[in-house]
Amino acid sequence: MKLFKYILLSLFITSAAYAQNVKITDYDLPVSSARQAILNGFYNWSETDPKDTTAPKNVTSDFRVDALYTQFYSSPAWAWNIGLTGAIFGKRDDTTRYSYTFNTDGSKYFSDDKGFFANGALIFILYQAERVRS
């Protein structure tokens, strides 16, 4: 057991002696970019007949449409991302709601040899509801 401790201690000391600084220029990273667009939605309609024949039928109707668009670019010195998400949803004779989200961010290495890095982001969210007149 004592020998095991000495082996671990010697491995730790030798690995600490060979530590080095890593810079962004030490690696050859590929530039990547992509775009994505998605549209999704559903509509649900149902009708229930009450047991009492004098009562009116219960009709329900729901809908939702979602859209998503994202685009990004990434390189060792510069990166940015843009995203837009939107939705519209509601029920029959009820409030229709809208929701939009816009987000963007950017990153930049200003000094390759010193590792000075900056990042910024902006997020905008809108949620609105409108009453549908029946």
Q: What is the pLDDT of residues 1-56, one digit of tens each?
A: 677 777 777 766 665 555 566 666 666 778 899 999 999 999 988 887 777 677 77
Rg (CA), the chain: 29
**Can you say whether the dihedral through the CA atoms of 12, 17, 18, 22 is positive or negative?**
positive
Residue 79 to residue 33: CA distance in whole angstroms? 9
Query: What is the pLDDT, as a whole number, of residue 69?
Result: 96
Chain length of the chain: 134
Residue 117 to residue 6: CA distance in whole angstroms? 41
Q: Quick check: pTM over 0.75?
A: no
